[in-house]
Structure 1
Amino acid sequence: MKKFFGLCLQMGIVKLPKLRDYWSSRPVFGGYPIGSQVMPRNRFEKLLANLHFADNASFDGSDRLYKISPFIALFNAACERMYKPGRDICIDESLVPFRGRIVFRQYIPNKRRRYGIKLFILCSKGGYTYKMIVYAGKDTFRIGTVAESVVMKLMKGLLNHGRRLFTDNWYTSIPLAERLIKRKTPMIGTIRRNRRGLPKHVTGKKLKRGCVVAQQNRLRVTVLKLRNKRDILMLLITHDDAMNEEAKPIIVQITIK
């Protein structure tokens, strides 16, 4: 089984058109059959066809990820054990291409491959995946919005250490930022104009290019609007609307870096 999973990892690194090409000695594929050095092709295909992680007899229908939940838990535990993130971390989603029949398959039109299974991923600086969650549809046990639930689950074990969390506008909201600041975790990210609680003085202000307007609440959560080619709305905790020598907000410069 270790050889089987090793081949699977190798196939993820070395891309060939078809599965059976990994056992081909044709020069067009490099002339070196990767698979045959490890195990026969028929043996690999038999293991692949019968790979199973769970006992169907004990499935009660409550967890759509029942068959792979133990594997995901092992993967996350290994990632957390091998590396500790630094100060800056990021949460985003990724789409694993999949066109099969599954109830929680997602369609995201702005992705390169539009159909697949959505993953919520927490990454450290440099792109290391520290933890992931597979989105399997509506969760009846969650507290708050989907975005808040995902962020708090992924951040478990990383709060109260002064890390800075960077997010996009799907996750960012004032209630979530206030929850995080109480756990000593500043949040920085773009925010949607229609989020609840945004100051109308900021969202409704008409700006000329290069101008900035901002407002901070009692918990030091700042909503900032910047006019460049278009309006950019941001939420931040660690910084105010201070400008650098190039007349750009310091927080924008930090985010780009």
Structure 2
Amino acid sequence: MPRDRFFKLRANMKVVDDNSVAENEKENKFWKIQSLLNKIRTACLTYPRPSFVSIDEQMIPFHGHVSMKQYIRRKPSPWGLKSFVMTTPNGIPLDFIMYAGKNSDFSSALEAPPKMDIGGRVVLKLAESLLNSSSSIIMDRDFTSIPLLQILLIYNIKTTGTLMKSRHPRPISFISDGIEKSWTGQS
């Protein structure tokens, strides 16, 4: 197929008929591609759950003009659409959630405290498919918090993650293992 024909087909490709979508469905910022996202997510959910899964954010490179476009430094492609992904150790996606901005709805079947941060709500939403498996979650400091770990423990989901100093209650004091002292040059 010639390049120009491919570009013409790509520019005119539609996933959904705009006239057949109800007005309340158009409140979802991804309404034009939601049916495609649902099919991809359904296929991801059919993959068997391994013993370890990873939850992290991922940027989908995008240079167009949409309100959902994000900038995250420290990422290989800092500009694009942000998604939260649960993957296997080999990087195969098991589930994902597209981020549409501050007002994104991450309601989950797992009970969450009303003031849980976005990272915790995302993990609970993605962990729904792990309820009847023996999978353990590995996540980074953007998601880990004490309330989240307590909730996952109730559902018997094992978790490993880095905990930031600002995310643990003040009365708790951790015993130093000596690594931090040698790293900062203190004796």
TM-score range, shorter chain: 0.7 to 0.9
The structure 2 residue matched to 1:76, chosen from 1, 23, 41, is: 41
Structure 2 residue 77 is matched with structure 1 residue 98: no
CA distance in 2, matches of 1:208, 1:140: 39
Structure 2 residue 159 is matched with structure 1 residue 187: yes
From the CA coordinates, give the structure whose radius of gyration is larger.
1
CA distance in 1, matches of 2:62, 2:104: 25
Percent identical among aligned pairs is 30
- 1:34 corresponds to: none
| TM-score with structure 2 setting the length | 0.81
Contact 1:160–1:184 (CA<8 Å) still a contact in 2? no
Structure 2 residue 6 is matched with structure 1 residue 44: yes
**What are the ranges of 5 or more consecutive residues in structure 2 without an aligned counterpart?**
108-115
- 2:113 corresponds to: none
* 1:12-91 alignment runs, 5 A limit: 39-57=1-19, 58-60=21-23, 61-81=26-46, 83-91=47-55
Aligned-residue offset at 1:170: 0.5
CA distance in 2, matches of 1:45, 1:128: 29
Structure 2 residue 183 is matched with structure 1 residue 229: yes
* Aligned-partner residue type, residue 154 of structure 2: K
Contact 1:90–1:165 (CA<8 Å) still a contact in 2? yes
Aligned in 2, Cα 1:200/1:182: closer, same or farther, shift over 3 Å? closer
Aligned-residue offset at 1:47: 1.5
**3-state secondary structure, aligned to 2:67:** coil
Contact 1:160–1:185 (CA<8 Å) still a contact in 2? no
Aligned-residue offset at 1:195: 0.9
- 2:127 corresponds to: 155
* Aligned-partner residue type, residue 72 of structure 1: L
CA distance in 2, matches of 1:111, 1:101: 20
* Aligned-partner residue type, residue 103 of structure 2: D
**3-state secondary structure, aligned to 2:120:** helix
Contact 1:160–1:183 (CA<8 Å) still a contact in 2? no
**3-state secondary structure, aligned to 1:156:** helix
* Aligned-partner residue type, residue 166 of structure 1: I
CA distance in 1, matches of 2:87, 2:71: 23
Aligned-residue offset at 1:198: 5.5
CA distance in 2, matches of 1:74, 1:47: 21
Aligned in 2, Cα 1:63/1:227: closer, same or farther, shift over 3 Å? farther
**3-state secondary structure, aligned to 2:173:** helix
- 1:172 corresponds to: 144
Q: Per chain length, whose mean CA-contact separation is higher, i.e. which structure has more relative contact order (CA < 8 Å, sep 6+)?
A: 2
Instruction: Encode CA deviations 1:121-173: one digit per residue, 9 max, x unaligned.
Output: 10112221111111111236445321122112212221243321100000001
Instruction: Encode CA deviations 1:228-248: one digit per residue, 9 max, x unaligned.
Output: 626xxxxxxxxxxxxxxxxxx
Aligned in 2, Cα 1:59/1:70: closer, same or farther, shift over 3 Å? same
Structural RMSD (CA): 2.2
- 1:26 corresponds to: none
- 2:72 corresponds to: 108
Aligned-residue offset at 1:116: 1.2
* Aligned-partner residue type, residue 45 of structure 1: F
Contact 2:81–2:99 (CA<8 Å) still a contact in 1? yes
